[in-house]
Amino acid sequence: LDLIPPRNTILCCAKMITFFSGGKYYFTRNKSTLVAFAVGEKYQPGNGFKIIGGHTDSPNLRVKPRSKRSSSGCIQLAVECYGGGMWHTWFDRDLGVSGRVLVRKENGSIEQKLVKIDRAILRIPNLAIHLQNSDERAAFKINKENHLCPIIATAATKALTGSEDAAEECDGWTEYQEPLLLQMIASELGIDVKCIADFELNLFDTQPASLGGVHSEFIHSARLDNLASCFLAVQSIVDHILDGGLTDDEDISLIAMFDHEEVGSTSA
């Protein structure tokens, strides 16, 4: 939304709105779907639309509502596959966590905050080669429930730092969350752990995007499907407005970027 020019109008889906020539409007749903449009100054009822569509979500590993998990002396995070991803590419990557956190305020209300821990706090390691036979290496079959849960720490380190389960609250939610995850989120946001009411968190590869090839003709990046289209859509309508494109425009220029395309657009 930082790219949307000032002097626009935020729409409410529950109200009837009168649109004006030269007007600029947008609305969001769940703060993850964005629709924005600008009415040409020469627009007349019955004229056309110029539309760019996209979606804001990408296949990823999403932290489960009950994030606590451990195995073989390692503290893990319970994750689930969101969308149709190429899951074998997530192994041996430096993974961070990002998303939104619902925070309790002093007055009892809930505030949404964005968080991004952009460092290698998680990893999904491959099994050492001498612990696999040749058939297993050739097949590389993935059990999504057991093989994709990233390691966040060892149980010994957790015990030494005092992050023990006995210190957790039993409120029906906190006791099912990994304390180390909650502590990281609280530290990143500068809040108390007890203020965290819920979260929607995703894993991401901390390696930044780059240009590749001898002539730099390739873009190497995660989430090109479909954040690249979303960025260009927002940039195009902003440039169209700032460059005076509405002056002689007879149409409505509109961008629509939906969430949850990867798992069914009806929930957008």
Task: Say if residue 164's pLDDT is above 60.
Answer: no
Q: Give mean pLDDT, residues 134-156.
A: 87
Residue with tokens 């965290």: 196
Q: Lowest-pLDDT range, 16-30, 33-47, 62-76?
A: 16-30
- Picking from 57, 66, 93, the residue whose alpha carbon sits closest to that of residue 268 is 57
- pTM (2 d.p.): 0.84
Q: What is the pLDDT of residues 36-57, one digit of tens each?
A: 999 999 999 999 999 999 999 9
Tokens matching residue 28: 């969001």
Q: What is the pLDDT of residues 69-97, one digit of tens each?
A: 999 899 999 999 999 999 999 999 999 99
Q: What is the pLDDT of residues 185-226, one digit of tens each?
A: 999 999 999 999 999 999 999 999 999 999 999 999 999 988
Ramachandran angles phi, psi of 52, nearest 5°: -120, 125
Q: How confident is the model at residue 10 (pLDDT cuts 50, 70, 90)?
A: low
User: pLDDT value at position 130?
Assistant: 84
3 with 234: CB under 8 angstroms?
yes
**CB atoms closer than 10 angstroms to residue 146:** 9
